[in-house]
Structure 1
Amino acid sequence: MVDIILPCLNEAAALPLVLTGLPTGYRAIVADNGSTDDSVAVARAFGAEVVHVPQRGFGAAVHAGLEAATADVVCIVDADGSFDLRDLPRVVEPVVAGQADLMLGRRTPGPGAWPWHAQQANRLLAWWLRGELDVDIHDLGPMRAARRTELLGLGLRDRRFGYPLEMIVAAARAGWRIAEVPVAYAPRAEGTKSKVTGTVLGTARTVRDMTKVLAG
């Protein structure tokens, strides 16, 4: 069994598509970050475990999901319907086989899936990781997999949008084998709105949080 942590804030429109796409042997944990729509009810109706996370922030939601998980190997995936969860085994299998410690899904975007400002910010951060930490990746990869105990052992402290970058930086400094594999990336499910990089302001906020990680 593999646990999938789905950080969630008002994703009721996307969750049916996401949760019906789970491969066999995967269990969904929806880390709800204070949704005001029907996200919690929808998640439960489709068989997901729900963890309530009162502290706002992407990192807070993922961390709470990690603490609730019980599987040896865990995944982290956006709950907005932009990923095809049938790609999960390609990200998970190198971790299960002991070939990688942290696997990232390198996004292959379809039309309209990835705003230009978000792509530019991601490209710059990946360039920094390659140059400063010798991590051969090209995307910070919102779909990722690792072993739960080892992830918690990294002691990640960011609870906002710097969390994904902090994970890679900490893993690299700990000597982890980090790799990536291409995965499909589509526009968000209709009726949902990005809290991270869907707007220039959202991208700027994310870059701000990630810059704090680099400065630390």
Structure 2
Amino acid sequence: MEILLVEDEPSVISLIERGLKGENHSISIAMDGFTGLKMAGLHTYDLIILDVMLPGMNGLDICRNIRMANKDVPILILSALNQTEDIVEAFNRDADDYLTKPFKLDELRARINRHSRKARMQAPPSNTITIDNLTIDRDSKHVERGSKAIVLTATEYRLLEYLMINKNKVLSRIDILEEVWGMDFNMSTNVVDVYVNYLRKKVDHPFERKLIHTVIGMGYVLRNEN
């Protein structure tokens, strides 16, 4: 993979370079935010790894700016900030993954490999899912309910897509964390509940029929109660 690492700590850079040596990855380094954003715009990468606290521009602002031009490149936030609100804010900026420092190289490798596998997967030719009057087009990422278009962040979209693919199946928080966020990166956070509430406000609250349901003690399910 072609990886852009935006990180200002030489020890972390060295650790990642040594840890990924011999795994067929090419790593480009930027040690400040402005340089990282410029490199992301000039070159095509298979994965971008962003620290949050950077000189010049922080990683979350870089993430948002990258997303304005490139909706597909996976972005992994690598940060010492480990509170729920920090993680939620990163996904609100359309990050795909979040790994807290200090981290284990095996976990970083696993996440990189997962993004590599997903990049190799080909989408099926017919990619529309409809449940009740809710429809997603998995090619264009367009979501609408009735005749109303629904604007979702990248993380909200992945969560809705996962719920719709598994219509009528109760999904535990662990299931959702592993599929939507890639890993059970911090089982003590309530990030799943936060994002389900985000979805409900956009997908359910404006409509009479509710599709997203809580199964107490078990998880969440998307189904048409009628």
Same-fold call, TM cutoff 0.5? no
Higher Rg: 2
Q: What TM-score comes out, normalization by structure 1 length? A: 0.32
Larger RCO (alpha carbons 8 Å, 6+ apart): 1
The normalised TM-score by structure 2 is: 0.31
